[in-house]
Amino acid sequence: MEMHTDVLLVTANVGSLFDNVGEIEGDWLREFFMTVHMHKPCFVALHFQEVGGKDYMVNMGHAENFFWTIESSSEMDDFDRVCVYVDSNFRAVDSFTALGSMYFIHKSLKNIQQYDFNVKEFKAVSGHNKYVGSLEGVTTIEKEKFPKNFWPDFKWSRKGYMRTRWLIHNQGLDLVNVHLFHDASNLIACNSSPSVYSANRKKALRYVINRISDSSYSPLPFFLFGDFNFRLDTLSLVQVLLHIETKLFAYLHQAVFRENNGKELLKYDKEISAFHDVITEEEIHFPPSYPYSEDYTKPTQYMNTRCPAWCDRILMSHSARDIIHRREEGESGVVYNTLGSNVCMGDHKPVFLFFPMKTITH
């Protein structure tokens, strides 16, 4: 018999949250809790990137408190099993990714297991499981920082991926937290189409997909959600823009990026098209998720440092798309949107996907 389990996936680059300690956090949490309350999922997965912010040596303690605040909040009381993974050991330069993943299981969800990559089997989940620090030897995740030799010409940074694997009512799936490379310079970005940065991201994303699809563990449907740093094809866009410098991107009018949710610009969002053989995405009906002003009073305005883009995404394998239950007309179904569109959430608006997942009961 087919059943459904309501699932909420959220991705959030929280770098600027920790760089502006205090101001943004209350609203950020309120928006998240409101979304949980509204959709009432049984399983919640939160993927964070840039945990601790740019100044992570100073702010990592604050980051740990932030995770604790979410985990211990009354709003999440009905989720009686929690798994938290925070890669916060910045001293381990070769492996530090600043990724954090949190998973919440509602008390009504009885049949759920998590995969142990070491013994290669699923095990029951109970209580609160918290792993903070280097995550070396934690067998329920697979984590990798991108190899140094990938980009000999670029500064090596804390980018990589972290995967967990779940079995919900006999339906297996992989959830992968991803952080890909950004555009370091606007000028270099508009030298060619696609840009050199885009080529780097393509190589990294292909690497991740190959790693999670190889035969070490039998491949399952997967959701990749994180900060892909996908950018619009800047060279093609440039004719409508005014003025570009290395870290300045001043444009004719802000409105074009939010009018009609930026629909006019989606045609320049080309980076995912190279992956249509293996991944797909729900239709985007929200404005670019980055770079919003970090000024608390300007929650809907973009900064003019970079061209606005849909950096934060929830992508899925074709097999994962098949396990999304499409409800009949009039029933609430799949929602793909940003969190906190009218409040300051930092330079990235978190992006969420809510959907009823088909599950099998024997």
Whether the predicted pLDDT of 242 surpasses 60: no
Q: In this structure, what are the phi and psi dihedrals at residue 359, rounded to the nearest 5 degrees?
A: -130, 165
Whether the predicted pLDDT of 323 surpasses 70: yes
Q: For the ranges 54-63, 71-80, 122-131, 244-253, which has the lowest average pLDDT?
A: 244-253
Average confidence (pLDDT) over 238-244? 59
Angstrom distance (rounded) from CA 140 to CA 138: 6
Q: In this structure, what are the phi and psi dihedrals at residue 216, rounded to the nearest 5 degrees?
A: -60, -40
Residues 6+ apart with CB under 8 A from 171: 221, 323, 357, 358, 359, 360
Q: Is residue 144 part of a domain?
A: yes
Angstrom distance (rounded) from CA 214 to CA 2: 29
Whether the predicted pLDDT of 33 surpasses 80: yes
Task: Specify the pLDDT at position 265.
Answer: 84
Whether the predicted pLDDT of 244 surpasses 60: no
Angstrom distance (rounded) from CA 316 to CA 285: 17
Average confidence (pLDDT) over 32-59? 95
Q: Is residue 263 part of a domain?
A: no
Angstrom distance (rounded) from CA 34 to CA 337: 14
Quick one: which H or E segment has residue 355? strand 351-360
Whether the predicted pLDDT of 152 surpasses 70: no
Task: Specify the pLDDT at position 154.
Answer: 65
Q: For the ranges 128-132, 222-226, 241-245, 340-344, which has the lowest average pLDDT?
A: 241-245
Confidence of residue 150 (pLDDT cuts 50, 70, 90): confident
Task: Specify the pLDDT at position 259.
Answer: 73
Residue bearing the bigger pLDDT, 255 or 122: 122
Task: Specify the pLDDT at position 339.
Answer: 96
Task: Specify the pLDDT at position 185.
Answer: 76
Residue bearing the bigger pLDDT, 262 or 351: 351
Cβ burial of 272 (10 Å; 0-12, 13-18, 19+) is middle
Angstrom distance (rounded) from CA 285 to CA 237: 20
Any bridge partners for residue 336, and if so which?
A: 353
Angle at 288 (CA atoms; ends 103, 162), nearest 5 degrees: 30
Does pTM surpass 0.75?
Answer: yes
Q: For the ranges 88-102, 244-258, 275-289, 309-323, which has the lowest average pLDDT?
A: 244-258
Q: Is residue 332 part of a domain?
A: yes
Give the pair of three-digit tokens for residue 39.
Answer: 């959709």
What's the 3-state SS for 223-256? EEEEECCCCCCHHHHHHHEEEEECCEEEECCCHH
Angstrom distance (rounded) from CA 298 to CA 100: 27
Confidence of residue 308 (pLDDT cuts 50, 70, 90): confident
Q: How many domains does the chain have?
A: 1
Average pLDDT taken over every residue of the chain: 89
Residues 6+ apart with CB under 8 A from 77: none
Confidence of residue 255 (pLDDT cuts 50, 70, 90): low
Task: Specify the pLDDT at position 189.
Answer: 73
CA-based R_g, the chain, Å: 20
Task: Specify the pLDDT at position 110.
Answer: 93
Angstrom distance (rounded) from CA 61 to CA 59: 5
Q: What is the pLDDT of residues 112-133, one digit of tens each?
A: 999 999 999 999 999 999 999 9
Q: Is residue 11 part of a domain?
A: yes
Q: Is residue 169 part of a domain?
A: yes
Task: Specify the pLDDT at position 263.
Answer: 84
Residues 6+ apart with CB under 8 A from 6: 39, 40, 41, 42, 43, 354, 355, 356, 357
Q: Is residue 219 part of a domain?
A: yes
Q: Is residue 20 part of a domain?
A: yes
Whether the predicted pLDDT of 67 surpasses 90: yes
Whether the predicted pLDDT of 233 surpasses 90: no
Whether the predicted pLDDT of 21 surpasses 80: no
Amino acid at 240: V
Domain housing 196: 2-230+311-360
Q: Is residue 261 part of a domain?
A: no
Q: In this structure, what are the phi and psi dihedrals at residue 324, rounded to the nearest 5 degrees?
A: -85, 125
Angstrom distance (rounded) from CA 322 to CA 328: 16
CATH of the domain at 138: 3.60.10
Q: For the ranges 35-49, 117-131, 321-335, which has the lowest average pLDDT?
A: 321-335
Contact present, 338 and 286 (Cβ < 8 Å):
yes
Residue bearing the bigger pLDDT, 327 or 270: 270
